[in-house]
A and B are shown apart, each in its own frame.
Chain A
Amino acid sequence: MPDLSVDKGKLQLKNPIMTASGTYGYNLEYEDFTDLTKIGAIVTKAITLEPRDGNRGQRIIETECGMINSIGLENVGIERFLREKLPVLNNRGISFAVNIAGASIDEYALLAKKCESAGIKMIELNVSCPNVQHGCLEFGVDENILEALVKTVREVFTGCLIIKLTPNVTSIEKLGLACRNAGADAVSAINTIKGTGIKLSFENGKFKKEQVTGGYSGRGIKPAALGAVLRLKKVLDIPIIGMGGIYSLNDVFEFFASGAEAVQIGTANFTHPDIAGKIVSELDSFMNNNGFKTLDELKGALRNE
């Protein structure tokens, strides 16, 4: 039996396969399709202080190699999350991280405090949602603001603190370093890429246009994600959780080869609702069949160490 666990400082996972925020709901949404207790950790939909309705109008559109979403952080708010969703996660023995998003440093700190009091062991800061007017993304694009934010949250949260980075910056390395200097336990990369999807049709002499601007995700962003992980790996000594276009075990290996210690599966959950559990099994079989006893052994081989 190979050991799939991830043991990197406070980042403690039974296996490196996580599911990405926004694609996996709050807790049991996928339970009919996969054994949720098998997943390294599910990351909840982003939670804000107050409930949010999210954006109006069409929210998703398919593109050539992925999709654009503009959900706008619709969520039930932290109080309802703690009251209704959290107990289910705990009772079912599901490993999870809570993704939180604020409009100010104070809001992030308050959210983190509430998570700490509720006994939550792992949070992921959403500093990179491209779909809201205020907050979020602005924290993720300026290293000084980000460092101040992470420092403040670090003071009130003792568990594993992950910062989810946006690719919509000139130097993701600077942002990663700011997180590390402020005491983050890990970074996850990448969030969606800003983009626009347009679908045109010509009917009865008239063009019809569907258009959604928001975050681009799916197969098409994998090269951008791998590039970001590689750049972060060069400058960081804290673990990197890679994500962007993962659809197979081979994709996971590409992220390991680039320096990721764990990965998150996002958009692929929509077409393959059992994919997270399946990749865990495939990873286990691969390591078993090929004599890799630990993940570090496997990653070493992938990184030619």
Chain B
Amino acid sequence: MKEFKAKIKYNKKAGKDLYIMDLETPGGVFSKPGQFISILIPDKTLRRPLSILGNTGDGLQLLYKVRGEGTKYLSNLKSGDFINFTGIFGNTFAPGEKNLLIGAGVGLAPVYYLKKELEKKGVTSKLIAGFKTKDEIPEDLITDIDLISTDDGSFGEKGSIAEFTERCIKENTPDTICICGPVIVMKLVSETAAKYNINCQVSMESMMGCSIGACRGCVIKINDNGIIRNAAVCKEGTIFDGNKVFFGGCEHA
């Protein structure tokens, strides 16, 4: 973990309220799928944790959605501007031999990164992704997604991506599911995975203070082999066994 000053190579619109930012960090930076960085926003009290979309060797790529003032600020930055981030934080996915990767909305970022890494290693994976509507699909990444659904049917299959999980399990017989998206989608997919006895890893999101496990601001409740306890999303996560997470208490995230 350290503090980085990164130069923005490009920061381009990738869909409705969606941006892809390419960062150059001198000497590159080591990262794994599922990990995140925390970006300093001038005059803001908290850094903004963002999931990594990919590692370019000389830096990182991010996929982010404009949701508030912090991401709004980021979206206005230009090539050549600098940002300060801390990282690299969090754990990584533990993929199996046959993987079903699921991204919902901007939650596509870490599973897209995972798919690219698995391709390099020759490990089988299928990537499916769900969006509210056609406008919210990051165009640049479309060709790497094996199945797309939209809530309104404006692109691909119609419906929530959670509805297609069962079909994909039957067709592809994965041994592992890795998912990132809204809590409700991860909850439904975890339940489906449990039904088929498939290992399901979920990437959780929570309001973070320090990003390093010191403040206990981002904790969620997990069932750790029968012991119910707090786990800091920033330090122990963001990736957890879907069977261990109490999604009920996480709606705030």
Please provide the chain B residues from 66 to 96 with a CB less than 8 Å away from any CB of chain A in the complex.
86
Binds B, one of A53-61, A96-104, A138-146, A156-164: A53-61
Are B215 and A270 interface neighbours, CB within 8 A? yes
Are B46 and A270 interface neighbours, CB within 8 A? yes
Among B40, B208, B216, B229, contact of A71 (Cβ-Cβ < 8 Å)? B216
Among B86, B216, B218, contact of A273 (Cβ-Cβ < 8 Å)? B86
Are B209 and A69 interface neighbours, CB within 8 A? yes
Binds B, one of A17-25, A110-118, A180-188: A17-25
Q: Does A286 belong to the interface (CB within 8 Å)? A: no
Are B47 and A71 interface neighbours, CB within 8 A? no
Q: Does A135 belong to the interface (CB within 8 Å)? A: no
In the assembly, what is the distance between CA of A66 and CA of B45, in Å? 5
Which residues of A sit under 8 angstroms from B86, Cβ to Cβ?
Answer: 33, 273
> Known interface pairs A33-B1, A59-B207. Does A273 touch B45 (Cβ–Cβ under 8 Å)?
no
Are B210 and A270 interface neighbours, CB within 8 A? yes
Nearest CB on A from B72, distance (A)? 13
* Chain B contact residues, majority secondary structure: loop
Q: Does A304 belong to the interface (CB within 8 Å)? A: no
Are A53 and B215 interface neighbours, CB within 8 A? no
> Known interface pairs A74-B230, A267-B45. Does A29 touch B209 (Cβ–Cβ under 8 Å)?
no
- CB closest chain-A residue, reference B70: A62
> Known interface pairs A33-B2, A57-B249. Does A67 touch B209 (Cβ–Cβ under 8 Å)?
yes
Q: Does B245 belong to the interface (CB within 8 Å)? A: no
Q: Does A219 belong to the interface (CB within 8 Å)? A: yes
Which residues of A sit under 8 angstroms from B47, Cβ to Cβ?
Answer: 270-271
Q: Does B198 belong to the interface (CB within 8 Å)? A: no
Which residues of A sit under 8 angstroms from B207, Cβ to Cβ?
Answer: 58-61
Are A32 and B1 interface neighbours, CB within 8 A? yes
Q: Does B252 belong to the interface (CB within 8 Å)? A: yes
Q: Does A242 belong to the interface (CB within 8 Å)? A: no
Which residues of A sit under 8 angstroms from B212, Cβ to Cβ?
Answer: 25, 29-30, 32, 273
Please provide the chain B residues from 33 to 77 with a CB less than 8 Å away from any CB of chain A in the complex.
40, 44-47
In the assembly, what is the distance between CA of A69 and CA of B46, in Å? 12
Size of B's binding interface in residues, CB under 8 A: 27
* Chain A contact residues, majority secondary structure: loop
The contact string, 1 if C-beta is below 8 Å from chain B, for chain A 224-261, is 00000000000000000000000000000000000000
Are A60 and B217 interface neighbours, CB within 8 A? yes
Please provide the chain A residues from 29 to 74 with a CB less than 8 Å away from any CB of chain B in the complex.
29-30, 32-33, 45, 53-54, 56-63, 65-67, 69, 71, 74
Are A270 and B209 interface neighbours, CB within 8 A? yes
Are B44 and A62 interface neighbours, CB within 8 A? yes
Nearest CB on A from B247, distance (A)? 14
Q: Does A274 belong to the interface (CB within 8 Å)? A: yes
Which residues of A sit under 8 angstroms from B45, Cβ to Cβ?
Answer: 62-63, 65-67, 218-219, 267, 270-271
> Known interface pairs A61-B207, A66-B45, A271-B45. Does A30 touch B214 (Cβ–Cβ under 8 Å)?
yes
Q: B: which residues have CB within 8 A of A?
A: 1-3, 40, 44-47, 86, 207-219, 229-230, 249, 252-253
15 interchain pairs, CB-CB under 8 A: A24-B214, A25-B214, A54-B219, A59-B207, A59-B216, A59-B217, A60-B46, A62-B44, A65-B45, A66-B45, A67-B46, A74-B230, A210-B252, A269-B210, A270-B210
